[in-house]
């Protein structure tokens, strides 16, 4: 996959959302902390089945990501390693992306979609993006407004399409490219 200047900026932004402690590296602990913040934000006990599933999915994502990106096997991923993995085909197609990401999104929605209607309210969206990715409320509100329906709800499908756009679209006008707010 060619890393264009636009994709490079998006990957750098996504990297920062993974790096919970801001030390310039993604580590297993970043995923663990993000999971704990998220389940706590939705009032779930550590042993709640939804919380356990979500934590397991996060650790699975960490293991998959680190297996492909941690080139020097030091237990942490630098931004250079992260970008290089994409250049080497970490996400080749939207379909291969879906295989790995849809189960995680399902586990996330089981927590964030509190009334289990397949749609996120503004508050649910702000809560999960803030807890999981340290996204500011302003950025979360902005993307929610772009992706929500006439009732102010964001469907799981709309969120998945936006995530695909973030990784695969080069069109700055596509809403998904601003999924994490400003790229700078």
- So what's the pLDDT on residue 70? 87
Residue with tokens 């941690």: 70
Residue 143, class by beta-carbon neighbours within 10 Å (0-12 exposed, 13-18 middle, 19+ buried)? Answer: buried
**Minimum mean pLDDT among 1-10, 60-69, 80-89, 129-138: which range?**
80-89
Q: What percent of the chain has pLDDT over 90?
A: 78
CA distances from 60 to 14, 35, 57, 93 (A): 18, 12, 5, 20
Q: Which of 107, 2, 12 is nearest to 61 (CA)?
A: 107
Average pLDDT of the segment spanning 59-75: 90
**DSSP code of residue 91:** S
Query: In whole angstroms, what is the distance from residue 180 CA to residue 97 CA?
Result: 18
Q: Which of 110, 28, 61, 171 is nearest to 162 (CA)?
A: 171
Q: What is the mean pLDDT of the chain?
A: 92
Q: Which of 143, 149, 148 is nearest to 175 (CA)?
A: 143
pLDDT band at 89 (very low <50, low <70, confident <90, very high): low
> DSSP alpha helices (H): ranges in 5-48?
5-18, 28-41
Q: What is the pLDDT of residues 101-154, one digit of tens each?
A: 889 999 999 999 999 999 999 999 999 999 999 999 999 999 999 999 999 999
Global pTM reads 0.90
């Amino acid at each position: 996959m060619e890393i264009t200047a636009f994709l490079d900026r998006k990957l750098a932004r996504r990297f920062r959302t993974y790096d919970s402690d801001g030390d310039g590296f993604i580590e297993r602990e970043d995923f663990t902390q993000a999971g704990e913040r998220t389940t706590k934000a939705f009032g779930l006990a550590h042993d709640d089945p939804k919380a356990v599933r979500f934590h397991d999915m996060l650790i699975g994502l960490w293991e998959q990501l680190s297996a492909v990106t941690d080139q020097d096997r030091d237990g942490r991923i630098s931004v250079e390693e992260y970008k290089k993995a994409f250049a080497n085909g970490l996400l080749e197609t939207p379909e291969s992306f879906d295989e790995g990401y849809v189960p995680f999104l399902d586990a996330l929605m089981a927590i964030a979609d509190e009334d289990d209607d397949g749609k996120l309210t503004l508050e649910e969206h702000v809560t999960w993006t803030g807890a999981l990715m340290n996204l500011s409320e302003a950025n979360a509100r902005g993307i929610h407004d772009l992706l929500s329906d006439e009732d102010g709800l964001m469907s799981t499908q709309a969120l998945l399409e936006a995530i695909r756009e973030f990784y695969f679209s080069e069109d700055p006008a596509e809403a998904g490219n601003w999924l994490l707010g400003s790229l700078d």
